[in-house]
Structure 1
């Protein structure tokens, strides 16, 4: 989805150090610009002219507010490509590019949040994040200062893993499955979890999950559940709900099961992979909560006596 560049950083005391620069740029990325049937809508001068005019007229804030209102009230989120069907072609192109800009910002903020929350796993199960950057895709002198942010291209500088994709490997699927579970245990559910997003270090054979731009975070989910009144249901527990959601998303199986099927199809060999036992995790969560409640009750009784 994002543009990924190999960046060479000069080193006074040795050879250059190579990092990965991941850019969230609405102009590029076939997946980002996909429309129906996986046909990308290419970035063109016409698109850019429509977008710049839209920005110059001060239309983006209102357009994005309206889009948010629709997403808050409609069952399915509005996709950028839907604006390409608008009767006014120029305005449709402008709204399409504006929505892609919003999507890029959301993915950037999501990935930054995920890396920060996975600080203890950086350099182990996910790459190290070294810096955030912001570039401009246009000459700033040509646009009003208040509109400059709409032409920002956000990016993150990451550790480069010299290895190969999990799609080419069969021996370390279990490690990748366990890595996905570790991320889930830290309150992060990945919406885009697949073998293509796992890179294996060529020296240590350690898998790293490299795309965290589309995630759901436990604390944000819990806030939404309380806002929607889920806590009013008898016996409802946010920790149990979280693990039920994790089980539904099944990040570990999204990596492991796909690879097992591929290997079996190609070689006829079935690889045994262990997956998290979500029923046991939920049962353990309920048991711990019950024990905690009993302990609190005893503590209260002791104080009153």
Structure 2
């Protein structure tokens, strides 16, 4: 199977042919990676996640994690924006919009016209699908940008980014598109990551002895701090943003995942503005305080005190 059929979900055993997206500024020869789906990850929210085996002698024989930013199955984005679940008819309207150039113009309007999204209730299915495609492409850009900034802690505190990829929709009735920007709108972008075989931090009480809970949560809080030290603001930190893995020696290692809702500190962003943004999001508390309350229900008193690492940067009148 060379690509992804437009009108079906992914299936265990399915082989996907992924095209590698070169890093910015690098002139790499085009290459592909064939991946067989081993297991689908649920729930489906902003992206479609799965565990895959890479086929070929050049790749390791252990599984890797594939995250596809496929707007068809981005249930959370659809729910948040009041958009109906994907249908064949909506997909056909979207493909028509791409073929005629209307989708590219619509994205241009999204990015340049103030308050353009306020008219979402009047959009047709083709426009809604174009909007969702643009949104998931932004998630891809944010996540890959974050992984680039976190290069020195990949494989240690966050998973290792193996490759940026895209998956082309198989569209036999669509004319060949010579315009790269148009063809790109029919590509499902994704990332191949180191697979962390473990459990989410939110389920620590079900998978690890109570004697390990404090150290595991401490690791998660320390990772939040390390990510912040790389100039990253994450607006979606929660216990499910961490995977806990028990290594061969019996020690528990924590990895932070999910960087689609992040941004880098602006090159001209003042210490005060950056400090205010970090204080407002309280990324540490989203882990430490939340886990403290959750484990208290198990009769465990987690030791956690918030460190005001950005307080001095914010204005004195900030509460």
TM range (shorter): 0.7 to 0.9
Q: Does 1:145 align with 2:178?
A: yes
Report deviation, 1:10.
4.9
**Paired position in structure 2 for 1:34:** 79
2:73 match: secondary structure:
coil
Q: What is the CA-CA distance between 1:175 and the residue it aligns to?
A: 1.1
Contact 1:199 1:207 in 2 (8 A): yes
Q: Displacement, 1:145?
A: 2.7
User: 1:166 corresponds to which residue?
Assistant: 201
Counterpart among 279, 282, 289 of residue 247 in structure 1: 279
Scaled by the length of structure 1, the TM-score of the pair is 0.76
Deviation of 1:277 (Å): 2.0
1:194 to 235, 238, 263: 238
Matched, 1:78 2:109: no
Q: Structure 2: any 5+ residue segments left out of the alignment?
A: 1-45, 206-212, 315-319
1:66 aligns with 2:109: yes
**Over 6 Å off, 4+ runs:** none
Higher strand share: 2
Q: 1:13 to 1:110 in 2, by over 3 A?
A: closer
State the 1:14 CA deviation. 11
SS in 1 for 2:50: strand
State the Cα RMSD in Å: 2.5
Cα deviation, 1:18-62, whole Å, max 9, x if unaligned, reads 1001111111132132146xx772110111011112222211122
Structure showing the higher helix proportion among its residues? 1
From 97, 109, 131, give the equivalent of 2:129: 97
- 2:264 corresponds in structure 1 to 217
| CA distance 1:11–1:276, change in 2 (3 Å) | farther
1:110-130 Cα shifts (integer Å, max 9, x gaps)? 111100100111011100001
Aligned to 2:145: 113
TM-aligned CA distance change 1:35 to 1:10, over 3 Å: closer
**Shift of residue 158, structure 1, vs aligned partner:** 0.2
1:175 pairs with 2:194 = no
- Residues 258-303 of structure 1: per-residue CA shift (max 9 Å, x gap): 1212222x224431213332356539xxxxxxxxxxxxxxxxxxxx
Alpha-carbon distance in structure 1 between the residues aligned to 2:76 and 2:259: 15
Unaligned runs of 5+ in 1: 226-237, 284-305
Per the alignment, residue 309 of structure 2 pairs with 278
Superposed displacement of residue 219, structure 1: 2.6
Residues 13 and 134 of structure 1: is their aligned pair in 2 closer, same or farther, counting only changes over 3 Å?
A: closer
SS in 2 for 1:7: strand
Deviation at 1:165, TM superposition (A): 0.4
Residue number among 152, 158, 163 corresponding to 1:131 in the alignment: 163
Give CA-to-partner distance per residue, 1:60-96, whole Å, 9 cap, x none: 12211222234xx34xx838xx63x32xxxx521111
